[in-house]
Structure 1
Amino acid sequence: MTDTTWQPDLSQYPGPKYLALTRALREAIRAGELPPGTQLPTVRDLAWDLHVTPGTVSRAYQLATQEGLLAATVGRGTFVAARAPRLGPTQSLFLERDLKSEPWLVDMRSPQLPDVGQGAAFSAALHRIGDGLDVAWADYPSQRGEAPLRAEIVSWLSDRVLGPVTAEDVALTHGGQNGLLLVFLCCLRGDRPVILTEDLAYPGIRHAARLARAEVVGIEIDGEGMVPDALEAACRRHGAQILVLTPEAQNPTATRMGVERRARIAEIARRYDLQIIEDDCYSVAESDLPAIRAIAPERTWYVGSLSKSISAALRFGYVVCPTGMGEAGRLTAQHGFFALARPVSDLVLDLMQSGAAQELRRGVAAEFSVRLQRLVNGLGRFDVNWQPGLPFIWVRLPSGWRASTFARTAEAEGVLLRQADEYALIHGRAPHALRIAVAGAIPMPRYEAAVDKIASLLARPPSDMAV
Structure 2
Amino acid sequence: MTVTTWHPDLSLYPGPKYLALTRALREAIRAGELPPGTQLPTVRDLAWTLQVTPGTVSRAYQLSTQEGLLAATVGRGTFVAARAPRLGPTQALFQERDLKSEPWLVDLRSPQLPDVGQGAAFAAALDRLGRGMSAGLDAAWIDYPTQRDEAPLRAAICDWLSDRLLGAVTPEDIALTHGGQNALLLVFLCCLRGDRPVILTEDLAYPGIRHAARLARAEMVGVEIDAQGMIPEALEAACRRHGAQILVLTPEAQNPTASRMPAARRAEIMAIARRYDLQVVEDDCYSIAESSLPSLRALAPERTWYVGSLSKSLSAALRFGYVICPAGMGEAGRLTAQHGFFALARPVSDLVLDLMESGAAEMLRRKVQAAFSERLQAMVNALGGFELSWQPGLPFVWLPLPTGWRASTFARTAEAEGVLVRQADEYALIHGRAPHALRIAVGGSVPLPRYDQALATLARLLRRPPSDMAV
TM-score normalised by the shorter chain: which range applies?
0.7 to 0.9
**Secondary structure of residue in 2 paired with 1:251:** coil
Which of 225, 236, 250 aligns to 2:229? It is 225
Q: Is the 8 A contact 1:398 1:461 kept in 2?
A: no
1:406 maps to amino acid: F
The alpha-carbon distance between structure 1 residues 64 and 415, as it changes in their structure 2 partners (threshold 3 A), is closer
Residue 89 (structure 2) aligns with: 89
Within 5 A, what are the aligned runs for 1:245-394?
A: 245-394=249-398
Q: Is the 8 A contact 1:420 1:433 kept in 2?
A: yes
**Secondary structure of residue in 2 paired with 1:374:** helix
| Cα distance, 1:465 vs structure 2 | 4.2
Does 2:112 correspond to 1:112?
A: yes
Q: Is the 8 A contact 2:173 2:331 kept in 1?
A: yes
Measured in 1, the distance between the counterparts of 2:320 and 2:373 equals 23
Which of 182, 200, 209 aligns to 2:213? It is 209
Does 2:452 correspond to 1:448?
A: yes
| Cα distance, 1:80 vs structure 2 | 8.6
The alpha-carbon distance between structure 1 residues 37 and 404, as it changes in their structure 2 partners (threshold 3 A), is closer
Residue 49 (structure 1) aligns with: none
The alpha-carbon distance between structure 1 residues 411 and 157, as it changes in their structure 2 partners (threshold 3 A), is same
**Secondary structure of residue in 2 paired with 1:343:** helix
Q: Is the 8 A contact 2:66 2:91 kept in 1?
A: no
Identity of aligned residues (%): 80
The alpha-carbon distance between structure 1 residues 138 and 374, as it changes in their structure 2 partners (threshold 3 A), is same
Q: Is the 8 A contact 2:310 2:320 kept in 1?
A: yes
Structure 1 runs of 4+ with >4 Å offset: 36-39, 62-65, 69-72
Measured in 1, the distance between the counterparts of 2:167 and 2:92 equals 37
Q: Is the 8 A contact 2:325 2:333 kept in 1?
A: yes
Does 2:426 correspond to 1:425?
A: no
CA RMSD of aligned residues (A): 2.2
2:306 maps to amino acid: Y
Q: Is the 8 A contact 2:35 2:80 kept in 1?
A: yes
Measured in 1, the distance between the counterparts of 2:400 and 2:453 equals 21
2:126 maps to amino acid: L
Residue 131 (structure 2) aligns with: 131
Which of 396, 399, 419 aligns to 1:395? It is 399
| Cα distance, 1:84 vs structure 2 | 2.8
Which of 169, 176, 180 aligns to 2:173? It is 169
Measured in 2, the distance between the counterparts of 1:175 and 1:346 equals 16
1:432 maps to amino acid: H
| Cα distance, 1:138 vs structure 2 | 1.1
2:125 maps to amino acid: A
Measured in 1, the distance between the counterparts of 2:458 and 2:214 equals 35
Measured in 1, the distance between the counterparts of 2:248 and 2:400 equals 24
Measured in 2, the distance between the counterparts of 1:351 and 1:362 equals 14
Q: Is the 8 A contact 1:399 1:461 kept in 2?
A: no
Measured in 2, the distance between the counterparts of 1:304 and 1:216 equals 21
**Secondary structure of residue in 1 paired with 2:444:** coil
The alpha-carbon distance between structure 1 residues 382 and 210, as it changes in their structure 2 partners (threshold 3 A), is same
Measured in 2, the distance between the counterparts of 1:151 and 1:244 equals 26
**Secondary structure of residue in 2 paired with 1:442:** coil
**Secondary structure of residue in 2 paired with 1:101:** coil
Q: Is the 8 A contact 2:180 2:307 kept in 1?
A: yes
Measured in 2, the distance between the counterparts of 1:444 and 1:81 equals 45
Measured in 2, the distance between the counterparts of 1:235 and 1:63 equals 25
The alpha-carbon distance between structure 1 residues 400 and 80, as it changes in their structure 2 partners (threshold 3 A), is closer
Which of 409, 414, 417 aligns to 1:410? It is 414
Q: Is the 8 A contact 1:235 1:272 kept in 2?
A: yes
| Cα distance, 1:414 vs structure 2 | 0.4
Within 5 A, what are the aligned runs for 1:175-214?
A: 175-214=179-218
Q: Is the 8 A contact 1:248 1:255 kept in 2?
A: yes
Does 2:242 correspond to 1:242?
A: no
**Secondary structure of residue in 2 paired with 1:384:** coil
2:84 maps to amino acid: A
Measured in 1, the distance between the counterparts of 2:293 and 2:156 equals 22
Measured in 2, the distance between the counterparts of 1:161 and 1:331 equals 26
Q: Is the 8 A contact 1:69 1:85 kept in 2?
A: no
Alpha-carbon deviations, 1:48-87, whole Å to 9, x = none?
xxxxxxxxxxxxxx99964536789xxxxxx995353211
Measured in 1, the distance between the counterparts of 2:110 and 2:82 equals 37
Residue 75 (structure 2) aligns with: none
The alpha-carbon distance between structure 1 residues 312 and 294, as it changes in their structure 2 partners (threshold 3 A), is same
Measured in 2, the distance between the counterparts of 1:295 and 1:136 equals 39
Q: Is the 8 A contact 1:424 1:430 kept in 2?
A: yes
Q: Which runs of 5+ in 2 are unaligned?
A: 1-25, 38-61, 73-78
**Secondary structure of residue in 1 paired with 2:339:** helix
Give the alignment's TM-score, normalised by structure 2.
Answer: 0.83
Alpha-carbon deviations, 1:210-263, whole Å to 9, x = none?
000000000000000000000000000000000001000000000000001000
Measured in 1, the distance between the counterparts of 2:426 and 2:335 equals 34
Q: Is the 8 A contact 2:70 2:80 kept in 1?
A: yes
2:310 maps to amino acid: L
Alpha-carbon deviations, 1:90-125, whole Å to 9, x = none?
000000000000111100000000000000000000
Q: Is the 8 A contact 1:185 1:332 kept in 2?
A: yes
Q: Is the 8 A contact 2:203 2:222 kept in 1?
A: yes
| Cα distance, 1:132 vs structure 2 | 1.4
Measured in 1, the distance between the counterparts of 2:361 and 2:327 equals 27
| Cα distance, 1:461 vs structure 2 | 3.2
Q: Is the 8 A contact 1:69 1:81 kept in 2?
A: yes
The alpha-carbon distance between structure 1 residues 375 and 341, as it changes in their structure 2 partners (threshold 3 A), is same
Measured in 2, the distance between the counterparts of 1:249 and 1:63 equals 26
Q: Is the 8 A contact 2:199 2:246 kept in 1?
A: yes
